[in-house]
Amino acid sequence: MADCTETLPIRTRQTRAAGAALSPGLPGGLPGGLLFLLLICVTLPRVSAAEPDDAAVEPLDVLVEVSTDSDAAYTQSLVRYRVRVLARVPIRDATLSEPMADGALIHRLGDDRRFDAEREGSRYRVIERLYAVIPQRPGALTIAGPSLSAAVPVRALDRGAASDTLMERRALVYRRAEDLSLEVRPPPAAAERPWLPVASLSITEHWQPDGSQVRVGEPIERRIVVEATGIGAASIALPDAPEVAGLHVYPQPAETIRRELGEDLLVTTTLRQTLVPTVPGILRLPALRLPWWSVDMDEPRQASLPARDLVVAGPAPTRAAPTDADRAWRERFLARASADAQGGSWLVLVFAAAWLVTLLLWWRERRQGRQDSGVGSDSETGEPSSAYWIRRLRRACARGEAKSARDALAGWARTQSSVAGRLRIDAALRSRGAGNPELALVRELDRRVYAPGGALQTPWDGKAMLDALVPMLDDMPGREPSATRAALPPLFPERRVGG
């Protein structure tokens, strides 16, 4: 069947009226220069393609039926409107108009279905088209039925009719489906707001990184996915982001995907939130409720996510410094290896190999420690010094790199010690005399890094932080790396001569 969005005219072929058609023969040269033309007379039969003789299309030859899956529906709910064209004779150049309704949205669902059916002993070829009707207001709703225009070959109507050799004679047929009326009901009093009539609904959440334990200043992503079937609405309204003390929530715009699933409409809405804890402890996220109305059971339902506790720990712990017992054990081992080296050659080889293995392990541990702590680390803890983080902050501000500046500021805060342990950024700045203007710069930096779109929207200008905050950090006495490192004892002590 032709596409219903446009009306295709029934094409008929024009035939030539009965009479004689002349065609020139072949010229021939005769004496006297006379030219004779041979005329061939061709008589064509009169054929009419659009006006059959006495053949007619019976009412049962072509049928158009319409139906809905419900006589009463709610506003904003989905009503399936089905159109079927049944034909027990061949049809040509068929066009079908769209159903129309004032006060409802109507659009196609899927592709046309083709199958055979039996009706009162006759076999019909069926073409079925499905529509989604979404009422927009309560009250009576009338759906005007579509119209079918097609042509039927005459020979299919009259078995005894002679077959045309040049043209196929056709009979025009026109059918119009009946109008259907629905009673559209308003949302019931027991329904909650926002009004969401669907067949089924589910809600899930996903966390990245997974797990309920996080650290201060480290962002985590929460992804909430809502799926609804048999829905008439174009999107699903989700609750606002929760307000939790000690937790900054940066929601991103919801993403909605609408697709067809068989005879249903499936809408998937995804909401992403970036959560940044600012204080250690247990932060409780409240439960999330999403009320909806079951159109199948005709009763209120709700989908929910349970409350969740986030265990927020302080900044990452530093590496433990070597103890005196570790140093003493290493000195005894090296002394024993030096003394045994004076024994037999086989002992020398054994302990030389052991010494090389120990040296390799020590070198790898030292190299790994440098990679973990970065340039300018504290010799006692392996943690990068405050001067190192200040240099990184100054460089990030000068280059306009918001993410690097935020990491450098968090690293500097970890180098500031207090009686209770390590401090977060704003507490470390406040303990050193920073006021609201400086803390406002840090809040602006967080919004640039974790807000929707973040620093990708507009370039971040770090000049204000470079001028106001970095000079203040230079004057703050943070933990600096030790001036000297404990030197290793000599691998082979000097041998005393004659003693």
pLDDT digits (tens, 9 = 90+) for 275-319: 999 899 898 999 999 999 999 999 999 999 999 888 888 766 655
- Between 194 and 452, residue with greater pLDDT: 194
Q: Where do we find the tokens 């047929």?
A: 173
Is the residue at 295 inside a domain? Answer: yes
402 and 461 assigned to the same domain: yes
What is the spatial distance between Cα 336 and Cα 316, in angstroms, rounded to a whole number? Answer: 38
Which of 489 and 226 is assigned the larger pLDDT? 226
Residue 22 lies in a domain: no
Both 157 and 54 in one domain: the answer is: yes
Percent pLDDT > 90 in the chain is 29
Q: Mean pLDDT score of the chain, rounded to an integer?
A: 76
Which range, of 83-87, 104-108, 141-145, 348-352, averages the lowest pLDDT?
348-352
pLDDT of residue 464: 85
Predicted local distance difference test score (pLDDT) of residue 343: 54
- CATH classification of the domain holding 159: 2.60.40.10
Q: Return the pLDDT at 9.
A: 36
Contact 70, 184 (CB under 8 A): no
Task: Indicate whether 203 belongs to any domain.
Answer: yes
Statement to judge: residues 140 and 228 lie in one domain: no
Q: Tell me: do 53 and 179 sit in the same domain.
A: yes
Examine residue 162 and state whether it is found in any structural domain, yes or no: yes
The last residue of a domain, from among 262, 295, 313: 313
Does 125 lie in the same domain as 69?
yes
Q: Is 162 in the same domain as 110?
A: yes
Q: Is the pTM of this model over 0.95?
A: no
Closest CA to 14 of 51, 40, 39: 51
The answer to whether position 20 is within a domain reads no
More confident residue, 244 or 161: 244
Distances from the Cα of 299 to the Cα of 13, 52, 68, 145, 198, angstroms: 60, 59, 21, 32, 11
Domain holding 404, by residue range, is 386-474
Band (pLDDT 50/70/90 cuts) for residue 342 is low
Q: What is the pLDDT of residue 157?
A: 72
Mean pLDDT of 166-177: 83
Single out the residue in 260, 290, 313 at which a domain terminates: 313
Q: How far apart are CA 386 and CA 378, in angstroms?
A: 9
Q: What is the pLDDT at residue 337?
A: 62
Question: Has residue 166 been placed in a domain?
Answer: yes
Whether 6 shows a pLDDT value over 60: the answer reads no
Q: Say what the alpha-carbon torsion angle 243, 246, 252, 255 is, to the nearest 10 degrees.
A: -60
- Cα–Cα dist 335/323, whole Å: 19
**Statement to judge: residues 158 and 238 lie in one domain:** no
- Answer for the pair 181, 140: CB distance below 8 angstroms, yes or no: yes
Let me know whether 202 and 305 are in one domain: yes
Please, are residues 37 and 28 in contact by the beta-carbon 8 Å criterion? no
Residue 196 above 80 pLDDT? yes
Helix or strand or coil: residue 207?
A: strand
| pLDDT higher than threshold 90 for residue 322 | no
Q: Percent of the chain having pLDDT more than 70?
A: 69
Lowest mean pLDDT among 66-75, 370-379, 407-416, 439-448: 370-379
- Whether residue 159 is predicted with pLDDT greater than 70 in this model: the reply is no
Contact by Cβ (8 Å): 493, 417? no
Question: Are 180 and 221 found together in one domain?
Answer: no
Quote the number of domains for the chain: 3
- Is the domain of 282 the same as that of 408? no
Does the pLDDT at position 169 exceed 50? yes
Question: CA distances (Å), 289 to each of 204, 301, 302, 306, 455, in order?
Answer: 12, 10, 7, 9, 32
CATH code, domain with 201: 2.60.40
Reduced to 3 states, what is the DSSP secondary structure of residue 332?
helix
Q: Give the pLDDT mean for 482-499.
A: 46
Q: Are residues 132 and 47 in the same domain?
A: yes
Strand arrangement, sheet containing 122-135: 62-68, 79-87, 122-135, 104-119
pLDDT at 425: 81
Q: Among 155, 125, 185, 130, which residue's Cα sits nearest to residue 49? A: 155
pLDDT band at 18 (very low <50, low <70, confident <90, very high): very low
Q: pLDDT tens digits for 356-413? A: 888 888 777 766 555 444 445 554 555 678 888 888 988 889 888 888 888 888 888 8
User: In whole angstroms, what is the distance from residue 266 CA to residue 360 CA?
Assistant: 61
202 and 180 in one domain?
A: no
